Each structure stands twice: as C-alpha cells, then as structure tokens.
Structure 1
Amino acid sequence: MPEPMAPMDCIPEDLPVHRVEVLEQLAAELPTASDALRYRDNFARLLPQRIEEVTVEIRSGNRQAAETALLSLSVGSRMVGAPRLEYVVGRCLADIRSGRKAECLPALIREAERFLTHVAETFSAEAHPRGTGRHRQDS
C-alpha cells in the first residue's frame, strides 16, 4: 500500500482560499448582507481558538472530541466559502477516522492562517474601497 501524500502536496491547486459567491448566497438567505459578513468575521475571529482546540484534542488522542471539533470547523468553512480550509479539515477527519496519525495539522494551521490573511485583506478593501479602486474578493 503506498504511503499517504503529505497534506499540502495533495490540496488541489484550483481551490481558492475564498469563494465570494458562497458568502453572497449566505447573504441572500439572511435578513441583511451585513449579517453574512458578520458571520464570516465571527468565524475568522474564532478560527485560531478552534484550530487550537483541534490540535489539543488530536495530540491528546481524544478522537471523538477531535472529530466533533473538525466537523464543526468543516461546516463553518463551507458556510463562509473557504474551500481550501474545508478540504484540509476533511483530510484531518479522514486521518482520524482511519486511525492514522493526523499529519494534516501543519496544513490545517497554514490554511487557517491563509484564510485569516485573506479576510484581513478583504476587510481592509471593504473599509477603504476608494483607495484601491476595487475589492479583492477571491484568491
């Protein structure tokens, strides 16, 4: 049986950090568009804490708690349109469920940081749209 690939080696290159159309769909389903942005911003604000929780649960061997935390992270990633993060979360879930050591943690941390950087850049563009001439919505 071949060795599993390193998690960063197998993230499809065509997956963007953020899909703005997913956030736009969420905005259409909520009372106001600002509710969707607030959801995204809350997800981003809590993301470091959630990644830390996953890391602790995986390293302590608490499989059930790690799965629960990862499932929650997967749903949140999908709702805010973070496909790269969602993909890596799925890899971590697969590792845990199969009993493999979760080698995906470094990739999970990197993708979370990448999403947070994207949100910070997007927030800056939203706050100062005239200075840039356009919004940076998708990577």
Structure 2
Amino acid sequence: MTTTTTSLHKASCPQPGATSGWISAPSSPTPLLDHAVLERLREDLSEYDVWRVFVQNFITALPLRIEKVRVALTTGDADGAMDAVLSLKTASQMVGAERLAALAADLEAAQREGIRVADPAVALPRLAVDYLHRIKQRAGQTSYALRTHLDTARQPRTINSQP
C-alpha cells in the first residue's frame, strides 16, 4: 500500500503578497487607514486631546502586540496565538488601521483552519513563516501613516478669555 502526503507547509505557503492557502484573498483593496474612524475617534475623545494619546499608545504598543503573536505562533501556543491575533485585530480596528486589521483577520482565519487540520505545534510555526514578515511590514506602514496623521491633524482651538 502506497500513501502520498502533501506537506502542510507547501499547502499553506502563500506567494509573495498573497494570503494563506487556507483562506481566500480579499476581493477589494482595503485602505491603509480609515480616516472616518480616526475622525470619529477624534470627535469622541476630543477633550484634552485624548484621541492623540490613544493613537500614540496604539503605535507604542504595536511592537509588543506583534511580539506576542510571534512568540505564540512559533511556540505552537494555540490559545496564546488566538488571543494575540485578536488583540492586534481589535486594536487595529479601533484606530482605523484597516489593512493591518484585515491581515490579522486573515491570520485569525488561517489559525482556526490550520489547527483544525493539523497539530498546532506544526501549523502555527508555519503560519509564523507565512505571516510575520507581512505583519511587521504592514505595522511599519501603519505606524508611519498614523504619525503623519497626528502631525497634520488640526490642533485643538484654544479659547482666549482675555479681551
């Protein structure tokens, strides 16, 4: 009896710029930043310019979030990987980082499918190979765009109480 197996890695490795073999590519391009989300954030948190602090905190925490994803994936920690990728996705959505959130959602779906069809100790490190470089690149682009947005956003008007 002869059996033929296909390497899970070969089945899951995307071509450069593509998504994992476990899920399909998005049908429409997503903006790097959703400026409507940033504007709503600015309106909701305008007092004391809290929205700026919120966005700056996202930028500051981004490397740590990515590191948590990396560690969980490379060690095959399914629960930790899901927690880390959901944290990255949700935080990205909150600041309008649409492409980063979409990439995190893609990784989330790939994780769910990967651990369904293979041992997490095998599937998750392979997803790290497939996704981490792109996540780091997208995070750098997003951080740059958010810093630029913060630099160019109108400063709050001050009311001069003197006649």
The TM-score normalised by the length of structure 2 is 0.67
More relative contact order, 1 or 2 (CA 8 Å, 6+ apart): 1
Equivalent residue, structure 1, for 2:17? 8
The question of whether the paired residues in 2 share the 8 Å contact of 1:57 and 1:66 is answered with: yes
- Cα pair 2:30 2:99 within 8 Å, conserved: yes
Residue in structure 2 matching 1:105, options 99, 108, 132? 132
Q: CA deviation at 1:119?
A: 2.1
1:109-120 matched pairs, under 5 angstroms:
109-120=136-147
- The 8 Å contact of residues 27 and 33 in structure 1, kept in 2 or not, is answered as no
Moved more, 18-27 or 114-123: 114-123
1:94 aligns with 2:121: no
**1:78 and 1:50, CA in 2 relative to 1: closer, same or farther beyond 3 A?**
same
Contact persistence 1:11–1:84 (CA under 8 A) = no
Question: Could you tell me how far apart the structure 2 residues matched to 1:7 and 1:23 are?
Answer: 30
Deviation of 1:33 after TM superposition, in Å, equals 7.1
Structure 2: where are the runs of 5+ without partners? 1-10, 19-24, 115-122, 156-163
Counterpart selection for 2:148 from 121, 124, 128 = 121
What SS is found at the alignment partner of 2:32?
coil
Tell me the secondary structure at the aligned position of residue 14 of structure 1: coil
Aligned residues: 126
More helix by share: 1
Residue 131 of structure 1 aligns with which residue? Answer: none
Letter in structure 1 aligned against 2:104: V
Q: Report the Cα offset of residue 12 of structure 1.
A: 6.1
Percent identical across equivalent pairs?
27
Letter in 2 for 1:105: L
